[in-house]
Structure formats: structure tokens, C-alpha cells
Amino acid sequence: MKLGDRLRRTLGEATPEGTAPGSPLRDELERYGKLRERAAAAARGELGEAVSLAAVSDGGLIETPRGPAWVVDTRFELTHLHGTRRIGTFFDTELEHLPALVADERLHGRDARQALFLDIEATGLDHGAGTHAFLIGWGRLDGQELLVRQALLREPAEEEAVLQLLVDELERDPLLVSFNGKSYDLTVLQSRLVIQRFYHRTDCDLKLRPHLDLLHLGRNLHRGRFPDTRLGTLERQLLGFERIDDVPGHLVPSCWFHFLRSGDAGPLGGVLLHNLHDVVSMVTLAERLAHEALPLADPTRDAAVSANLARLLLRRGMPGPAREVLAPHTPHGLEPDGLRSLVTAARRSGDAAGYRAALETLVRAAPEDAAALGSLARLLARDADTLGRAVELAERAWKAHPSRVAARRLAMMRRRLAAASPPSPAEPEELTR
């Protein structure tokens, strides 16, 4: 018996319609509102002709040394508004402050006009060798326009050609900009470049190129403000851009598989639009984040963002700029987190008066912050005039967090107070034990 026959008999025939077992495309599509009718019609076999790629998008073929690649180019005037923001603004934005802020020296001397916004759609979320980037979208400045090019695999064999286009683009030595590219897009592309033998030795590592990952910057600046910091959320909250009928991310691979198996490009139209939005949103998001990340006093910046920025600056060892960033909000516009940054910034820049003022504000805003209470107590204990208040604060610190350090500090301050003045009330029992 032939091997193929044995396989069919032992492991089972394929299900009809050529859909893969374990990826019930029809069920998924039914949940995807816009395609519900199409999918139902397809399931009833009433759809007739499959929708061609040309019908969903006006792309075309480009010849490369490695064969033809199917590409859609979309151009935007720089005055184009994406949501509430003008896309051209980014290309005039100063980026010099970013290398220090994201701790990546490779960004030094990079100009916004060199940016290449990169976003892929791939067949799975794991980074393994079998994950294909079936759609690669990139946007860059082209004369007085933003050019977004999307290269789609009509079939896996076109990957070499598509990657060739990307490699050509990389020859211009751009500044890569992505959203989560560090752990996803660049990882998948690196793997594809290795498999298609563009890269042979490890020194051709995509990840060694200058790259700004907006996910990390966005997360750092907007931490705690929204339920999450996904691109969709940031678009809505920061860019005034709302997607309508967007293809949910988890359905994206199914749309391509469906096209591959049936030739029906219907669902791919939505994926191309999804990817286009991702790329354009990155342009305006990058502009907004770069602007927000300027280490300067900016009263129009949201106090919470300033607090996040100050914390980031402190982490990068820049207490001076951190104080400057917080200055317009000081003290009452700041939440305890921002105040804590302010305290640290003042202490690290050696400003004793500022430090004390910031601590005073912080213990008022967060009356149970044991660390702040303790710090302020220590500061006040240096002066005999404020020793009484120091003891009171040390007591509060001990109550908020009864640690051994707090207990020792309190006991010591009490002894000093007792030595300097009439006897104080009995020490708490726990402390004498």
C-alpha cells in the first residue's frame, strides 16, 4: 500500500473545503462582523467567484532580482490629519533627547527624516522558524509625502522578493521605528532573513540597528493612565484616532490562510487596512511621544505624564531635568508617585530646601508612606527645634510599617528627645521587649 493511502486511512481524510482542522475559520469569521455575511455565503457555497486581490486593494507587482513582489503604495500629504494630528509634524521633530531617555546610544545623531516605520502581520505569535511575516508594511518620508509601502506574500514563494525590497530599504540605513518590534517584528524578520539566506553571519543582526520601540516609550510615559498601553488604546487616548471595523489581531493569520487556501482575498482587504493604520498611527504616536518626552518644563503636559517622565529621567541618572519636568506641576498637581520622583530628584541634585519641601508635600499627600515619613523624620531630627516633630513622624512611620529599622530609629530619637527635655510618655511595649 502506498504511504499516502496509509496516511489517509490511518490518520483520516481532510475535512471538506480545505480548512485546517483546529483552525475553524468559519466560526472565527462569523465573529468578525464585517465579514459575517460573506463567510456565511461562502459556507453555503453561494459566494461564486472568490474576490481577487485587485478588488480589495490597488496594488501591483514590482520586479526584484529575486522575483516579483506584490506591493501596495499609499501616499499621504504631510498635512494629512490622522485622528486629530498632522502626520507631517513628526519629520520636523527633534529626537536628540531620546537616546539618553531610552538608553540606546545607537539613536544618537539620528534625524526624524530618516525614520522607517515598520510593522508586520505574521502567522503566529511565537518567534519560531515557522512563523511567516506575510505582510510587511513600512512608512517613510518621500519628498513631501509619507509613503507607506505594504508588501504582501501572495504565496510563500514570494518571500525572497518581499524581503529583498525590505533589505533595499534597510540599505538606506534608516532609524527603525516600531511598536513592540524589539520582541516581535524584528525577531520574526530576523528569522525570515536567516531562512531566506539574506543573513549568513550573526553580525548582520537586524536587532543591532538603530531602533526606537514606541511600545516601551509609550508604556514608560503613560504608565497607569489607561487600562493598557496597546496601540489601539494609545491611538484612541492620545491621537484621537478611532478604528472602525478593524480586524481583530487574532483573526489576522486566519485571513491570510484563507486566502492561501481558497484564493479569496476578501478578508485580506481588512488586514491591509489594519496594517496601514498601524504604520500611520506610529508616525503620529512617535511625534506625540517624542514631544512629551522632552525633558523640559511644560505646563501643558499632563501631570501624570510629567511624573512618569521624571521617574524615567531619574532612572537614567538625570535628576536635574527630572526636577525641571516636575516644576510646573509642583506641588499640588502631582500624585504621590510624582511627588516621590520630586523628592528623589531634589535629593540627588543636593537641594536640601527643595528636598524638605518635597517631603513635606509628600507626607501630606500620602500620610502613611513609611519611607517618606522616615526620611522626613531623619531630616528633622538633625535640628533640636524640630526633634519633637521628628519623633512624631518616626512614630507614624513605625505604625505604617513596623519594621525593625523604624523601631530602632524611633527608639533612638526618643532617647535624644528625652535627654534634651522632660521625660516622654512610656515607650510602646513592643519596643522595650
Partner 1 sequence: MSTSTLLPRRSLDDIIEGLTGGGAQASNVTGHFVTPARLPRHGVFPDALHPLLLQALRARGIERPYTHQAAAIAAVLAGRHIVLTTPTASGKTLCYNVPVLDRILRAPESRALYLFPTKALSQDQYSGLHELIEATGAKVGTFTFDGDTPPDARKAVRDHGQIVITNPDMLHAGILPQHTRWLKLFENLEFIVIDELHTYRGIFGSHVAHVLRRLLRICAFYGAHPQVICCSATIANPVELAQTLTGLDLELVSDSGAPTGEHHLVCYNPPVVNRELGIRAGVVRTSYRLAAELITQGVSTIVFAGGRLQVEVLLKYLREAMVAAHQPPDLVQGYRGGYLPLHRRRIEAGLRNGTVRGVVATNALELGLDIGSLDACIVAGYPGSIASLRQQSGRAGRRQGKSLTVFVARSSALDQYLVTHPETLVGASPEHARTNPRNLFVLVDHVKCAAYELPFEPNERYADLSEAETAEVLAYLATHGVVNESAGRWHWTERVFPAHHVKLRGIPEENFVVIDVAKDKVLAEVDFRSAHMTLYEHAIYNLDSDQYQVERLDYDNHKAYVRRVEPDYYTTALTESRVGVLDEEGIRPAGPVSLAHGEVLVSLKVVGFKKIRFHTNENVGYGDVVLPDLEMHTTAFWLTLPDAVLAELPGDREAAIDGLAGLSHALHTTACVELMCAERDIGRAVGDRSAGIFVPLELRPGPAAEAPASEFAPTIFLYDAMPGGVGLAEEIHKRAPELLARTLSLLEGCRCEEAGCPACLGALPGYDGRARTAAVALARMLAQALTE
**Interface with partner 1, residue 23, by CB under 8 A:** yes
Stretch that binds partner 1, among 5-13, 142-150, 384-392, 415-423 (CB under 8 A): 5-13
- Of the residues 108, 261, 408, 415, which one makes contact with partner 1 according to CB under 8 A: 261
Out of 194, 327, 357, 371, the only residue in the binding site for partner 1 (CB under 8 A) is 194
289, 312 contact by CB (below 8 A): no
Q: How far apart are CA 350 and CA 394, in angstroms?
A: 23
Interface with partner 1, residue 254, by CB under 8 A? yes
Give the C-alpha separation, 91 to 243, whole Å: 24
Strand partners, 63: 68
Beta strand 115-122 pairing with 133-142: antiparallel
Q: Which of 64, 178, 190, 220 binds partner 1 (CB under 8 A)?
A: 190
Residue 328-367 contact track with partner 1, rule CB under 8 A, x = bound:
----------------------------------------
Kindly list the distances between the CA atom of residue 382 and the CA atoms of 68, 347, 417, in Å, as whole numbers in the listed order.
77, 16, 12
Q: Smallest distance, Å, CB 284 to partner 1?
A: 31
Whose Cβ is closer to partner 1: residue 5's or residue 385's?
Answer: 5
Distance CA 56, CA 46 (A): 19
Alpha-carbon separation of residue 422 from 4, 387, 390, 391, 414 (angstroms): 99, 13, 16, 14, 11
Reduced to 3 states, what is the DSSP secondary structure of residue 82?
strand
Nearest to partner 1 of 66, 80 (CB atom): 66
User: Nearer to partner 1 by C-beta: 91 or 199?
Assistant: 199
Site for partner 1 contains 260 (CB under 8 A): yes
Residues 6 or more apart whose CB falls under 8 angstroms from that of 362 comprise 336, 339, 340, 342, 343, 369, 372
- Pick 201 or 382: Cβ nearer partner 1: 201
Q: Does 257 bind partner 1 (CB under 8 A)?
A: yes
Do 50 and 41 contact (CB within 8 A), yes or no? Answer: no
Q: Per-residue contact track with partner 1, 83 to 122, x per CB under 8 A?
A: ----------------------------------------
Using rule CB under 8 A, residue 128 touches partner 1: yes
CB of 165 to partner 1, least distance (A): 18
- Does position 207 bind partner 1 by CB under 8 A? no
Which of 21, 45, 65, 422 touches partner 1 by CB under 8 A?
21
Q: Which stretch binds partner 1 (CB under 8 A): 11-19, 211-219, 224-232, 345-353?
A: 11-19
| Contact pick of 45, 130, 350, 425 for partner 1 (by CB under 8 A) | 130
Q: Is there a contact between 297 and 327 (Cβ–Cβ < 8 Å)?
A: yes
Q: Collapse the DSSP code of 5 into the 3-class scheme (helix H, G, I; strand E, B; otherwise coil) and give the result.
A: helix
The distance of closest approach from Cβ of residue 195 to partner 1 in the complex, given in angstroms and rounded to an integer, is: 6
Task: Go through 366-389 and write b for each residue having 16 or more CB atoms within 10 A of its CB, e for each that does not.
Answer: beebbebbbbbbbbbbeeeebbbe
- Copy the grid coordinates of residue 150: 505594504
CB of 312 to partner 1, least distance (A): 22
Site size for partner 1, by CB under 8 A? 43
Q: Are 394 and 373 in contact (CB under 8 A)?
A: yes
CA-closest candidate to residue 312, choices 351, 341, 348, 354 = 341
Establish if 253 lies at the interface with partner 1 (CB under 8 A). yes
Nearest CA-CA partner of 163 in 198, 129, 137, 202? 198
CB of 37 to partner 1, least distance (A): 23
Interaxial angle between packed helices 159-171 and 186-195, expressed in degrees from 0 to 180 and rounded to the nearest 10: 120
The one-letter amino acid code at 154 reads: R
State in angstroms the smallest separation of the CB of 388 from partner 1: 50
Cβ distance to partner 1 smaller for residue 247 or 373: 247
Taking the least distance from each CB to partner 1, the nearer of 13 and 385 is 13
Residue 193 contacts residue 199 (beta carbons within 8 Å): yes
Judged by CB under 8 A, does residue 202 bind partner 1?
A: yes
Distances, alpha carbon 366 to alpha carbons 94, 227, 311, 338, in Å: 37, 23, 18, 12
User: H/E element holding 146?
Assistant: strand 145-152
Position 1 contacts partner 1 (CB under 8 A): yes
Choice between 121 and 278, CB closer to partner 1: 121
Q: Which of residues 146-185 bind partner 1 (CB under 8 A)?
A: 155-158
Q: Which residues bind partner 1 (CB under 8 A)?
A: 1-4, 6-11, 13-15, 18-23, 123-124, 126-130, 132, 155-158, 190-191, 194-195, 200-202, 253-254, 257, 260-261
